[in-house]
Structure 1
Amino acid sequence: MPAAAHALLPSSTGLSALRVAAKTPLADGVCGLTLVAPDGGRLPDWTPGAHLDVLLPGDVTRQYSLCGDRWNPTSYRVAVLRELAGRGGSAYVHDTLSIGDLVGVGGPRNNFPLVPAAHYVFVAGGIGITPILPMIQHAELLGTPWTLLYGGRTRSSMAFLPELAAYGDRVRIRPQDEYGLLDLASTLESMPAGAKVYCCGPGPLLDAIEASCSTLAPGTLRTERFVPKEQGPPVRSTPFAVELERSGVTVTVAPGTSVLEAMAAAGVPVLSSCRQGTCGTCETAVLDGVPDHRDSLLTDAERAAGRSMFVCVSRSCGDRLVLDA
């Protein structure tokens, strides 16, 4: 992105421009970026689990977890994995983006918040370590006991190992080529009462830990996905109406069209980013009706409550929804 790109960002994007202050290799296929305001000023505060929306060439927006020092008010740190099967965004970051360049950034926003607990069990796979790092730092600050199980393909592909070494045997590093798949069973069996489990990583790891935690109390496990969870077919395959109460507009959402697209066509745009139900940008309050939740963010309890939905992917179970939009 050219140095003057921030001046070209339309106000409707909800993005600002940050400057790349440092670019550092962190592991095989992983680089770290330090981002600062062009004027060196203070950046918005954030909490453990938060991410940034980063606009890359080709109108590609990617979400990167903040993994630096949240008490440093003038810089953000993110880590970017080179995605060999991606659409070129990560390749641009690794190969082209340079110190001094400006990037469009939205947020921070947090769909993976750390809630109080008597003990934390952190499980990370690969680049999924990024949101876990500030959670560990926060647990340390509070004096809350914690453990980390961290896996990756190889030791050389796992970022932040030097930082984690300072925590001693509370951290178990388990590269797959040395240990095989992560031993989730023993980790969960030894978990003390009142503990909460936070896990981030590739889909197979998240599927496995969800299965392993299925008999635990609701709310014990919290996960974050970088790619959307596999979904079955929609509840209904016929059109439904969405009443946008504040706008005084009712739209018809046809099969194959998202609620987000129908709203935009009616002149009621909603800020969005991933359009896959993973980033949380387009969350909209539900005033009436039953949503067909198709996101990868809400817990089972939040889905049952039906108070909000992500209009980029979720739909309606009935003929009509009323949204606060």
Structure 2
Amino acid sequence: MQLSDNHGRKFYYLRLSITDVCNFKCEYCLPDGYQHTQKQCFLSVDEIRRTVESFAAVGTEKVRVTGGEPGLRKDLPQIIEAIAAIPSIKKIAMTTNGYNLAKHAQTWKDAGLSQLNISVDSLTPHLFNKITGVNRFDDVMRGIDKALEVGFDKIKLNSVLIKEFNDNELQQFLAFIKSRKIEMRFIELMECGQTGDFFNQHHLSGDGMKTFLQQQGWVQQLRAKDDGPAQVYSHPDYQGSLGLIQPYAKDFCDTCNRLRVSAVGKMHLCLFGEEGVDIRDLIQHDEQQPQLIDRLQQAVQTKKVSHYLQQGNTGNTPHLASIGG
């Protein structure tokens, strides 16, 4: 029984947020830092297990743990272990800002984490500090070295393309991956409800980078059914690869294969969509799984064909940390 929508898209990939708290102040997401507007009760380990078990029963094969910053949860190893114990989950990934990666990389890998995305918006320390609002560049670099040392199956670096900040660093990033088995991914800046002014000033299309790569002999790779939306390029002279995510490109949503669950138990059909479908009431007991699966099946039939970002419609997402990016 495979979860699919009315547009023929099948969903193999769950992005699961475990907290919306973040300790960075990235200009494009939380420039004023995380605001504790109300006390949040995030999903427990058992609620997370039941959620993933239900998604696995309808075809999910890959889970990405997100935030906020997931590394802020002290029970993160137990969360990873609970997900890893579900037989049909083949890949467990996590997106992190890397602030405590050097300390915990081995523990997380031992718990069952197989893939890691690390946010690195600049390889220039003062620009990194300016974009993120924190002086953590050296910590993140040590975390990347440690992640390579412990041997994750796949390591990716995420960099949001920001005009007038990091738009001239491509050669630095290429040099960084020349001898490192890392996928460097550039993500076009996306507009959210609270970041419209910053988007209007600093959005930069990835088309120029794509043209450059093709001219320099980089070749686009085939995408696996549970991969994210990146167009990934490889080059025979580089150990690493380079990915490009262009959410404003025509037909970007045609290959959507992922759903999201927020840290407070709402399923979101799109990063830039509706208020979310509450599922927390159906993850309190194991025997509720049939009802939850029925709710998931009904919900995905309402998924729209596109996010409509091109028309300036950002949905109800105030910032990327709110439902896990």
Q: If the length of structure 2 is used for normalisation, what is the TM-score? A: 0.25
Which protein, 1 or 2, shows the higher relative CO under an 8 Å CA cutoff with sep ≥ 6?
Answer: 2
Larger Rg: 1
Structure richer in strand, relative to its length: 1
